[in-house]
Amino acid sequence: MDDTAGPAWQRRLMVGLLLAPALLWLFALIVLPHVDLALLSFRERTAPREYVTSLAQYRTFFGEPLYWHIFVRTAVMSLVSTTLTLLIAFPVAWTIAKLARGRLGTLLFIVCLIPFWVSETVRTLGWMILLRESGVLPGLLVHLGITTVPVELLYHDATILVGLVYTSLLFMVVPLVSSLESLDNSLIEAAYDLGGNGLSILRQIVIPHALPGITAGCIVVFMLTLGNYLTPTLLGGTSSQWFTEQIYTQFITRFNWEQGAAFGFLLLALSTSMVWLGLKLSGQRFSDVMRRT
């Protein structure tokens, strides 16, 4: 039919126009820089202004134990931080989704959101004020007689984890709340009625139902943590040994863009493979999970 061709053609143009800003953004800010970075990472400077294509940057990474160590450490710390965030966020999300009714639920949600009204830098500096040797918490510990002298609470791995969990909590709570809200209360009652107890209901009913939300939250939090620069640097100081710092150092301090680009791609590969592994282990499909975020 001829008369359907017109509207269909118009519709396609409309969709194209609506998508244009997003596509432009995707291309200009994500695809283009990454193509350039990929090209950068595969070249080696042989003499001033002379470059050859090689795998030297990647070879350096695999040949230098320090880089390896920081890479693995960043991955493990991010995993630990994601797990802690999940464990802390789950009861919070349960309270918001199932226990708090109406305004109380909204209020709790806002409480989770409030820290994000200030910039990450200010938030992290707030932690430093609390935790540094002359800060609030060490002072309090001395005052209460728990320690005799103020202790330095900054620059420990635990401090980095605290900061990372704090920063990521909201991104875990949101998908968890939405997946728990969709859980029909009568399923919990039915399981209870059939003899289930808290633990078995959590394991067999709640977690299987919330799994897409859990996976979504974990993926987002893991990626944010892995790519975080500010929190590990400020709270961990020189001992933080975060991989993003290495990238920063290569680009800014050493002006070795080729090495920095290679590191960037290694981090991308790490986060991609971890997400893939997470999806495989939880038996979730990427599209289902992304709908939850």
Partner 1 sequence: MSATAAAPDLEVDRAIKRFGEHTAVDALSFSVARGSFFSILGPSGCGKTTLLRMIAGFIQPDEGDIRIGGRSMRGIAPNRRPVNMVFQQLALFPMMSVGENVAFGLARRGVARAERTRKAEAMLERVGLGGAARKKVDELSGGQRQRVAIARSLVLEPTLLLLDEPLGALDLKLREHMKIELKQLQAAFGTTFVYITHDQSEALVLSDHVGVMNRGRFEQLGTPQQLYYEPATPFVAGFVGANNRIVGRATSVAGSDVVVTTPEGWAIRARASAPVAAGAAVEAFVRPEAATLARSAAELPAGQPGHTGEVESLLFDGANSAVLLREAATRFEFRIALPQTGRYADLKVGELIHFSFEPARAACFPAGAAHG
* Nearer to partner 1 (CB atom), residue 81 or residue 179: 179
Cβ at position 183, least distance to partner 1 in Å: 10
Among candidates 183, 181, 178, which has minimal Cα distance to 213? Answer: 178
CB of 216 to partner 1, least distance (A): 17
Least distance to partner 1, CB of residue 100, Å: 19
Query: Quick one: tokens of 235?
Result: 């709270």
Distance CA 49, CA 150 (A): 53
CA 262, CA 153: separation in Å to the nearest integer?
34
For partner 1, the closer of residues 46 and 200 by Cβ is 200
CB of 289 to partner 1, least distance (A): 16
- Given the complex with partner 1, which of 206 and 247 has the nearer CB atom? 206
Return the CA Rg of the chain: 24
Give the nearer residue to partner 1 in terms of CB position, either 49 or 101.
101
| 158 vs 194, beta carbon nearer partner 1 | 194
Residue closer to partner 1 by CB (options 183, 261) is 183
CB atoms inside a 10 Å sphere around CB 143:
9
Which spans of this chain sit near partner 1 (rule: CB under 8 A)? 184, 186-187, 189-197, 200, 204-205, 208-209
Burial code (b: 16+ CB inside 10 Å, e: under 16) for 266-289 equals bbeebbeebbeebbeeeebeeeeb
Taking the complex as a whole, the smallest distance from the CB of residue 77 to partner 1 amounts, in Å, to 32
CB of 60 to partner 1, least distance (A): 48
Q: How far is the CB of 194 from partner 1 (least distance, A)?
A: 4
Instruction: Give 16 or 198: the residue with its C-beta nearer to partner 1.
Output: 198
